[in-house]
Homo-oligomer: A and B are copies of this chain.
Amino acid sequence: MKFGEGTEICGEGEPVEFVYEIVSGAVRTVKVLSDGRREIGGFYFAGDIFGFEDDNEHSLSAEAVVASTVRVIRRRRLVHLAADDRKLAEELLTMAMHEAARAHRHALMLAMTAQERVNDFVLEMAERISVGDLLRLPMSRQDIADYLGLTMETVSRTITGLTVASTISLPYSRTIMLRNRSALEQAMAATPAL
């Protein structure tokens, strides 16, 4: 199935009927609060699976960040298949644990400073969708801000700071050239304490 930019793929509160695998494009999971604030739970790219939840309703809605094609699988069917296929069952478990790990990482990141969050974001995206040192972001500054729990302005200022420090360069606002990965990594205090 295809979804245009900004289109809702599934809505918060809807029953979990399908699981989705992204063929191409990018998807964000979104929660909108009653006062208008918006939070993004995560971004998903080609090859990623989302919408696989245990509860009966989706806890977040999902929207296409850019025009995307998505493979839709019936949840019941998947669970049914897994009952007979040990390997598939293991894959599902692995996937769920990866999702948990990603959410945990997201949570830990949100407890850090704006600078660290942006650094972490750039590194995360670099791992997931960069081509060499070239990173093309499909999402807006507002999307990034809502994912990082910051404002668009703070994100923008922080990115500007990275270009000033020559850690990255920014040929277009959504294209990042990584010039100094170690500077990004090292600015992240995260270290296993001995």
Contacts and interface: CB of A to CB of B under 8 A. Distances in A.
B190 A33 contact: yes
A49 interface: no
A165 interface: no
A103 B96 contact: no
Given A41-B107, A100-B99, A110-B110, A94 B54 contact: yes
A41 B94 contact: no
A182 interface: no
Q: Please give the count of copies of this chain that the complex contains.
A: 2
Interface size class of A (residues with CB under 8 A): 35 or more
Contacts of A55: 101
Interface of A: 12-13, 31-35, 37, 39, 41-42, 52-55, 59-60, 79, 82-83, 86, 89-90, 92-94, 96-101, 103-108, 110-111, 146, 149, 189-193
30 contacts: A12-B192, A12-B193, A13-B192, A32-B192, A32-B193, A33-B189, A33-B190, A34-B189, A34-B193, A37-B189, A39-B108, A39-B111, A41-B104, A53-B97, A53-B100, A53-B101, A54-B101, A55-B101, A59-B105, A79-B90, A89-B93, A93-B93, A97-B99, A99-B100, A100-B100, A107-B107, A107-B110, A110-B111, A111-B146, A111-B149
